[in-house]
Amino acid sequence: MGKLKIKTGDTVVVTAGDHKGSEGKVMSVVADKNKAIVEGVNLVKKHEKPSSANPQGGITEKEALIHISNLSIVDPKDGSATRIGYRMEDGKKVRFSKKSNQVL
């Protein structure tokens, strides 16, 4: 397993699968599974029993994990998918967009 280039809070676009083309913000990353949860993407219906937190029970929708290989970071300049590179700037390691060369 290598280092993941996607972090919580990044805006990403789905590049493959049923939700191809949808955009959203990364809510969390599960590094050991190489997966992430993206806001509003890959929604699944979950049947929940009534509990003290949810006395009504019923069917709720929540985001499911998506593999990181199916996600690409959105370029801040033109809003399209881009790859990520790393470089040193003033002694700090920063991520940058390979498409527009802008620091993320």
Q: Would you kindly state where each structural domain of the chain is located, as residue ranges?
A: 11-48+57-97
Q: What is the CATH number of domain 11-48+57-97?
A: 2.30.30.30
**Virtual CA dihedral for 5, 6, 12, 14, nearest 10 degrees?**
80
At residue 1, the pLDDT reads: 57
CA distance 38 to 58: 23
User: Beta strands 58-63 and 43-48: pairing type?
Assistant: antiparallel
Which pLDDT tens digit goes with each residue over 8-54? 998 999 999 889 989 999 999 998 999 999 998 989 999 999 989 88
pTM: 0.80
At residue 37, the pLDDT reads: 94
At residue 67, the pLDDT reads: 94
- Percent of the chain whose pLDDT exceeds 70: 98
Beta strands (DSSP E) in the chain are: 11-14, 23-30, 35-38, 43-48, 58-63, 65-67, 71-74, 81-82, 84-89, 92-97
Using the 8-state DSSP alphabet, how is residue 69 labeled?
G
At residue 23, the pLDDT reads: 92
